[in-house]
Amino acid sequence: MQPEDALRARRSEVPSTQVEPELAAPRGTLAILLVYMLVIIGLWGYTYVSLILRS
């Protein structure tokens, strides 16, 4: 038996331990980003309106 054949046979006996990464973002992450974006837009809008009212 050649060394390459022995390696192939050994690899076929070992169970696969590879874990596929989750490509989709969790819903919680998207919700946090959406709230963060809404807070930033709200603060920008509040500042913009307050500057308009001062002038």
Maximal CA-CA distance, the chain: 88
Residue matched to tokens 């809404």: 38
pLDDT of residue 42: 98
pLDDT of residue 34: 95
Tens-place pLDDT, residues 1-55 = 567 777 666 666 656 667 666 666 677 888 899 999 999 999 999 999 999 988 7
Q: Which helix (H) or strand (E) holds 34?
A: helix 27-54
Nearest-5° Cα angle at 15, 12 to 17: 125
Q: Which helix (H) or strand (E) holds 21?
A: none
Q: pTM for this structure?
A: 0.49
